[in-house]
Structure 1
Amino acid sequence: MRKVVDSNFLRSNGLRDYLAGSPKNLALLTDYAAMEAYKGDTLLSIQGSMEILAEFPSQVLVLKNTLVACGLHGRTSGLQRRFIDESQTKGFSAYCRQLAAARTGDPTLIRKLMEHGEEAKRHLEERMLSDAKTLPTTIETVAKGYTAQELAILRNDEPYSEEMIKKLVLGVLRTAVAMFKEHPRVQHLPNQKDMPNTFIFRAALSAYLLALDWIAIAGPKAAFGASHKKLRNDMVDINFVAYATYFDDLLTNDEKTIRIYDKARLLLWRVFGCQISGLNA
């Protein structure tokens, strides 16, 4: 089993139970999980967040960061393998030893960890918070595309109508195409067959489902009253969702993230024709 680990699950006994259950159970670590682990009091936070993984270093796969993932092609062959950062995965045991050395007071390693912490803080507290400010307007715009009857379907968690599926597909495609055109790692638009397997497409789908979740649970205007930090956390969570759709599961304690992940997998399989673990058997 290969399961992506949400940052909120890194200190969970459930993670230890999963890894101890079988040497074939692998934990997949993303760049946002690492950034979340570094934020706050870096030296204490990173030690606590990596403690369980450090007990099972050979069962950790480090995934390529989001910037690189966005540039990966979507051909089915070798899809999972392309996301694995072989170098960082091989070096994870050494990284755990460095954490242990930093805990004993090694000044060079402490300085290095603090630098990572500052970079994580800049990304999460500055760039991501800035992006989060636009989320309420996006949610409201998505809601305006649905009729009163369709909004009731969303609120009641009923099966989407054919027309709602069409709107979802069009909305996701528009978002994905805009992201493809703006991203520095993308040279050209992928073809129709490969596009649903690209990270950008799955991130766009996850973001659209986040908007629908806000609309269904709290209402289309509720996000305007939410803190930017909460909205930022939502954006981080859909990054975990996008990565996890390529593998066997997502280890998380967050109910909203689970809802979005389950819907993303189902739509990728039923609507977009992707090979999804556990659904194509």
Structure 2
Amino acid sequence: MTILVTAASGQLGRLVVDALLARGVAPAELVATARDTAKLADASSRGVRTAELDYDRPETIAAALDGVDAVLLISGDAPGSRAQGHRNVIDAAKAAGVAKLVYTSVPQATTAEFVLAPDHKATEEAIAASGVPAVIARHNWYTENYGTAVARAAETGVIAGSAGDGLVASATRADLAAGLAALLTEDGHLGEVYDFTGDQAWSFEELAAAASEITGREVVYTPLTADEHVAALESAGLDAGTAGFVAGIDDGIRRGVLAGASDTLARLIGRPTTSLVDGLRAAV
């Protein structure tokens, strides 16, 4: 069976290639793809076949999928404008007769009012309409996303945000990659929608406590209103649109979009997921 990984030059995609090799997939049975194949030198050096695949250039997708049995479609990195690129991959997978498509979505993609949801909702709907055999892995937030906040807290003693009492069931990229490798290599799973989360959801007070343990100084969580959060982000140099987007993520967290912890990922990888403290310590 030949497995293709899209966006294999990215932080998650590289780890998926590592996880597939660790599960015993032969390098010759892997295809690592990216817009720029020069960024795939590490995979190539291990005998993994590489190919150009640009979500916005369908001709590259069709060529890369020739002879491929399973595809991991890692969501694009431009929120708000990535659905068409995803549809291009789905259409090519259907035309190539791909037997399994795995897609990285977000929690409550089809039901939640969440700033990240629209692209994923459109993609999940396109997958369903295509008839391509598929598995949806709805990824919670990356634990590593808070590495910068912890590093900053080492200087300021503060983690600020507008998530209120919201919880986050984050997981590390490595754990998520291991789960995706399981979906790609194991029989079954077709038609399933899985929540990929850490074993336990945490609050921002717990994030501050983890930062205290890692940095060796007292760190407190300072809750902000949405307007205060946007103003703080703009004063830090973000443009208004980006500041509103970041605050919108905290709004979704406050409303519980990322709160649901599941044991699905732990069961797939055969061990507990990495704790918040350990994941952040590695990221920092």
TM over 0.5: no
- Which of 1 and 2 has higher RCO (CA within 8 Å, sep 6+)? 1
The two structures have a TM-score, normalised by structure 1, of 0.27
* Larger proportion of strand: 2
The two structures have a TM-score, normalised by structure 2, of 0.27
